[in-house]
Structure 1
Amino acid sequence: MTTALQPPLPSRPVLRLRLAPRGGLPRSTDGAWWPRSYDLLVELPHLLAGLPREWGHITSVTVNGAVWSAAPGRMLVSNQVVRLHRALAANAPDTIVLLAPGRGRWDLVVVPPDTTEDAAEPLMTAAADDAGEG
């Protein structure tokens, strides 16, 4: 008798996110996110699921419309509606802005998905270590 081996269950990829330490100083960024693609419908649920609980429910997300694939004006994430905005901000082309009513706004540097690990590491470290200079 032979036993068929079950294929491994697909695992959820590790969220590539580095957040700045909490502090009282104003910051230009709150950390960095390194998505695996520019498909917002695939990437955003993973990002939102990995955020700190104290950030609350993110209801609005703004991304650079020139680089992210087209997406509807809103999407359902964990049974919550999230409004999606596409901007062409020349001053912050590589950021994602997250808003939670009554909780705050968080700006994350977006490391391009095709960045190598060696190149991404210093970008993520710099964004998380930013001391408000910018």
Structure 2
Amino acid sequence: MATVVEPLPSLPLARLRLAPHSVMPRRIDGAWWPRSRDLLTELPLLIGALPRAWGQITAVTVNTAMWPASPGRMLVANHVVRLRRAAGAHGRHTIGLLSQGRGRWDLLVVPPEVDAADAEPLMAAAAVDAG
């Protein structure tokens, strides 16, 4: 009798668009469209999809209005990522990613409940070369 091996479920890909590399700083470096507001699930997918040139992300700043429940730190790809929470309207739809010694990147966060027809143009606009 043959053994049936079920394929392992694959992780969903992060819905992410990044602006082209530039030496000039940008206000927004791209856009991320998470599938849920569960930061423990979504953040590892995002960090795993970032370019290697960004280095190891050591801290992330999230807005409490977008991500109401988040721990102070979490383990992502075998390293600790500190989570900082910001309140207020400023930065509500952004996430800040910090890589020590490499820099900081800010991404527009398209809320997960936004449908594809509205999310795609927002993501494309955020990833336009500003140079």
TM-score, normalization: structure 2?
0.91
2:112 paired with 1:104: no
Residue equivalent to 1:36: 35
Q: What is the aligned length?
A: 131
Contact 1:29 1:130 in 2 (8 A): no
Deviation at 1:66, TM superposition (A): 1.4
1:86-97 maps to which residues of 2 (within 5 A)? 86-97=85-96
Equivalent residue letter for 2:104: R
Residue equivalent to 1:125: 124
Moved over 4 A (4+): 3-8
Residue equivalent to 1:24: 23
Residue equivalent to 2:66: 67
Residue equivalent to 1:50: 49
Counterparts of 1:58 and 1:89 in 2: how far apart (Å)? 24
TM-score, normalization: structure 1?
0.89
Unaligned regions of 5+ residues in structure 1, if any?
none
Counterparts of 1:22 and 1:67 in 2: how far apart (Å)? 27
CA RMSD of aligned residues (A): 1.7
Deviations, residues 55-85 of structure 1 (Å, cap 9, x unaligned): 0111100111112131210111111010001
CA gap of 1:5–1:114, structure 2 versus 1, over 3 A, is farther
Identity of aligned residues (%): 63
Counterparts of 1:129 and 1:89 in 2: how far apart (Å)? 27
Deviation at 1:9, TM superposition (A): 3.0
